[in-house]
């Protein structure tokens, strides 16, 4: 239980990529983390394929200080997430305070909106490259990139690398580690 005592927020919105939300949620719970799913409202959001997730907390009530990490799954959800100022502020507050922030696939859109890619090496789904570069990120095509407190990956096939890096970083400072 490498993440015992760790609190992780996973962001959700409509049209999230199924694996990119559920794989980290379950993997981090398996390691003992307390995982909270946060959306614009406490509601049920459907994935790209119609699979539902019910959020535990509204973004307007979320405080970055309460979490050790924030995970942004991809799909079309990040485009909807960045329309919610409270969700962008939550992510920005987490990243700027040194908390681990991680995004996969289109999740880099949220990192860009929260001004967390400037000067960072990052990756993501190839179609967001221009957005991330224009936000000041240094684009690389790799399965996972860790640059300081920012972790990024490209696609669902990168999830094992993505989660391994997040778990490794959080385990270094976990309660009882």
Per-residue pLDDT reduced to its tens digit, 69-115: 999 999 999 999 999 999 999 999 999 999 999 999 999 999 999 99
What is the CATH architecture assignment of 7-171? 3-Layer(aba) Sandwich (3.40)
**DSSP collapsed to 3 states, 99-119:** CEEEEEHHHHHHHHHCCCCCC
Burial class from Cβ neighbours inside 10 Å (0-12, 13-18, 19+) for residue 125 reads: buried
**Pairing of β 150-153 and β 100-104:** parallel
Number of residues assigned to the chain: 177
Please give the structure tokens belonging to residue 155.
């696609």
The Cα 172–Cα 150 span in angstroms is 16
Q: What band does 40 get if pLDDT is binned at 50, 70 and 90? A: very high
The Cα 145–Cα 166 span in angstroms is 11
Which pTM value belongs to this model?
A: 0.97
| CB 7 within 8 Å of CB 147 | no
Q: What is each CA distance from 171 to 11, 89, 111, 162, in whole angstroms?
A: 21, 26, 23, 14
The Cα 94–Cα 63 span in angstroms is 8
Please give the structure tokens belonging to residue 140.
């690389």
Per-residue pLDDT reduced to its tens digit, 3-25: 999 999 999 999 999 999 999 99
**DSSP-assigned letters across all residues of 110-152:** HHHHTT--TT-EE---GGGHHHHHHTT-EE---SEEEETTEEE
The structural domains of the chain, with segments of one domain joined by +, span 7-171
Q: What is the pLDDT of residue 172?
A: 87
The Cα 167–Cα 117 span in angstroms is 21
Known catalytic residues are: 106
């Amino acid at each position: 239980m490498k993440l015992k005592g760790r609190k992780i927020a996973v962001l959700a919105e409509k049209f999230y990529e199924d694996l990119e939300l559920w794989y980290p949620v379950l993997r981090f719970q398996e390691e003992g983390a307390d995982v909270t799913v946060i959306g614009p409202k406490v509601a049920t959001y459907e994935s790209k394929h119609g699979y539902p997730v019910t959020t535990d907390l509204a973004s307007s009530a979320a405080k970055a200080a309460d979490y050790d990490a924030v995970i942004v799954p991809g799909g079309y959800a990040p485009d909807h997430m960045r329309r919610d100022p409270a969700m962008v502020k939550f992510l920005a507050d987490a990243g700027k305070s040194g908390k681990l922030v991680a995004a996969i696939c289109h999740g880099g859109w949220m990192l860009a909106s929260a001004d967390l890619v400037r000067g960072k090496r990052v990756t993501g789904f190839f179609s967001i490259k221009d957005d991330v570069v224009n936000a000041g990120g240094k684009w690389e095509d790799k399965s996972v990139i860790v640059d300081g407190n920012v972790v990024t990956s490209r696609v669902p096939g990168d999830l094992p690398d993505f989660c391994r890096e997040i778990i490794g970083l959080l385990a270094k400072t976990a309660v009882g580690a």
